[in-house]
């Protein structure tokens, strides 16, 4: 059985094929597998599609549990001076003195 692709919008793995299109239940995006040979956009973008650059301030849009720690990053937490990584789906930042990598799909610019 062929593996379903990650969502091209939010990059989450929880996707399925409903018979005609691929569906991402996390963000609601629907797409066909045709035209995947198009050039992909490697620009880091937040959950609303706004382009992110080094030094931007962002807000966390969902409570996030930090792996390997009992720390929880609460929804609404403001993060200043993000740093872009080689992966356009992740940014590096400091929260409460800890260096943490966050997925851009859980961030909102501003």
pLDDT higher than threshold 50 for residue 19: yes
Residue 86 within a domain? yes
Residue 43 within a domain? no
pLDDT for position 75: 95
pLDDT higher than threshold 90 for residue 37: no
pLDDT for position 40: 62
DSSP state for residue 40 in the 8-state scheme: P
Residue 96 within a domain? yes
The structural domain count of the chain equals 2
CATH number for the domain including 98? 2.30.30.40
Average pLDDT of the residues in 59-63 = 94
Domain of 82 in residue numbering reads as 58-109
Residue 44 within a domain? no
């Amino acid at each position: 059985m062929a593996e379903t692709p990650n969502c091209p919008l939010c990059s989450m793995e929880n996707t399925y094929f409903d018979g005609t299109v691929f569906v991402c239940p996390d963000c609601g995006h629907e797409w066909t597998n045709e035209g995947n040979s198009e050039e992909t956009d490697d620009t880091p973008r937040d959950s609303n599609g706004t382009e992110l650059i080094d030094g931007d301030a962002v807000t966390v849009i969902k409570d996030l549990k930090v792996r390997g720690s009992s720390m929880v990053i609460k929804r609404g937490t403001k993060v200043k001076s993000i740093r872009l990584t080689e992966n356009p789906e992740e940014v590096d930042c400091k929260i409460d003195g800890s260096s943490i990598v966050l997925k851009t799909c859980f961030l909102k610019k501003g």
